Amino acid sequence: MEAYTEWQGKGATLSDKTACKEFGLTRDEIVEAIRAGKLQYRQTSMYGNPFLRLLRREVEALVRSKHGEQYFRVQEAKTELARINTELLRLKKQTATLEARKSQLLADLQQ
């Protein structure tokens, strides 16, 4: 039962494409690890596009064993930095929109 719930936990899985993007793995490395029994997977699809769902903890362990702890930490930091930059950009756009609306409301009040 525990293995089944692991697949359903938030953030516990990732797609093969996300694993490549976040950890710098190649599709061939992922397939090789699956064949070697190092990675469990589930084949699924979204909007008709097939992809592999992998357990995040197994992908992280694979990256650590294959490339080392330092490489893993660098990739993790790069991914977090990209997320932070994306969020900052979103907040800047939201702030600009709110400032414009505020100016409009203040102008309407002064009329």
Q: Give per-residue pLDDT as tens, 4-21.
A: 678 888 889 999 999 999
DSSP letters for the chain: -HHHHHTTSTTSEEEHHHHHHHH---HHHHHHHHHTTS--EEEEEETTEEEEEEEHHHHHHHHHHHH-HHHHHHHHHHHHHHHHHHHHHHHHHHHHHHHHHHHHHHHHHH-
Domain ranges of the chain: 1-67, 69-111
Q: Give per-residue pLDDT as tens, 51-88.
A: 999 999 999 999 999 999 999 999 999 999 999 999 99
pTM as predicted: 0.76
